[in-house]
């Protein structure tokens, strides 16, 4: 399940067979959104076949630079009322030059993918996920965060730490991967969620794909609300070049691939 959506138009001047093929593609896309959960007990999944449960987190090299983040219980942000946060929420594409603090970044990471507890290889996080499968990894392009070098990082949720993947200014490359949406390069940080779909398909097979899309929405909505609570703006992005973004993240594009991203910055 990759973000390779493209505009499909039923052309009346095409031969009937071609028009029917286009309608079939549209119908398959629509069927993905329909509930098929009545069939879940009939599925022969890898879980039922006794195959080992996939890890809840992708492996990483402990010899790489790993940065400590402030522990969640010590973060004292977000005293605004929940109602006010919800009512203020909107997609914001204009950001000031004021930097995020590393503690604010820690706060946003915790509220979007933080792990509250781990039981038998299953994570219980600050966001819901079908079957607690949590198929995402969080990557962050840092452009303007105090005491952090510009570059690409990955959130190690199991330790609430940051892993440095690549130093360097990725503004131009990321702007290109996001199809020229210039506000991306003006943000303080860009959150990118990659999908390791087997974490969910191991249990739910083809029923997983609708659930994964719903899960991505849960994560990004938490980011929106968390940003509002600390006077930051957020804008979700679903329009991007799949291959270019996967390449920037150093993921293979098959077992793991980018599925959603959002720019974050201080509100002017």
Nearest by Cα to 209 from 193, 223, 198: 198
The rounded distance, in Å, linking the Cα atoms of 2 and 138 is 17
Mean pLDDT lowest for which of 28-32, 60-64, 72-76, 262-266?
Answer: 28-32
CA–centroid distance for 211 within its chain: 14
Task: Give the class (CATH, top level) of 16-266.
Answer: alpha beta
Which whole number is the average pLDDT over 25-49?
82
SS3 at position 193: strand
Q: Where are the beta strands (DSSP E) in the chain?
A: 66-68, 115-119, 122-125, 136-142, 151-156, 161-167, 189-195, 232-237, 257-266
Tens-digit pLDDT profile for residues 108-163:
999 999 999 999 999 999 999 999 999 999 999 999 999 999 999 999 999 999 99
Domain ranges of the chain: 16-266
The rounded distance, in Å, linking the Cα atoms of 1 and 193 is 14
Could you say which DSSP state residue 207 is in? G
SS3 at position 137: strand
Flag whether pLDDT at 15 surpasses 60: no
Per-residue pLDDT, 13: 53
């Amino acid at each position: 399940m990759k973000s390779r959506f493209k505009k499909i138009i039923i052309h009346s001047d095409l031969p009937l067979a071609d028009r029917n093929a286009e309608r079939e593609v549209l119908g398959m896309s629509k069927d993905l959104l329909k509930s098929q959960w009545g069939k879940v007990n009939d599925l022969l999944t890898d879980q039922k076949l006794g195959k080992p449960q996939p890890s809840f987190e992708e492996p990483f090299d402990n010899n790489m630079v790993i940065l400590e983040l402030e522990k969640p219980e010590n973060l004292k942000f977000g005293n605004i009322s929940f109602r006010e946060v919800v009512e203020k929420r909107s997609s914001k594409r204009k950001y000031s030059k004021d930097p995020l603090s590393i503690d604010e970044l820690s706060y946003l990471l915790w509220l979007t993918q933080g792990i509250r507890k781990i039981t038998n290889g299953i994570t219980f996080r600050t966001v819901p996920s079908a079957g607690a499968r949590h198929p995402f990894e969080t990557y962050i392009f840092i452009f303007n965060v105090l005491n952090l070098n510009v570059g690409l990082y990955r959130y190690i949720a199991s330790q609430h730490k940051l892993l440095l993947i690549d130093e360097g200014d990725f503004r131009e490359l990321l702007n290109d991967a996001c199809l020229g949406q210039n506000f991306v390069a003006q943000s303080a940080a860009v959150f990118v969620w990659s999908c390791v779909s087997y974490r969910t398909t191991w249990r739910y097979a083809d029923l997983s794909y609708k659930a994964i899309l719903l899960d991505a929405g849960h994560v990004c909505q938490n980011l929106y609300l968390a940003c509002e609570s600390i006077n930051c703006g957020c804008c979700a992005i679903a329009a991007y070049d799949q291959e270019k973004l996967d390449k920037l993240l150093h993921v293979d594009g098959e077992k793991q691939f980018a599925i959603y991203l959002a720019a974050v910055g201080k509100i002017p």
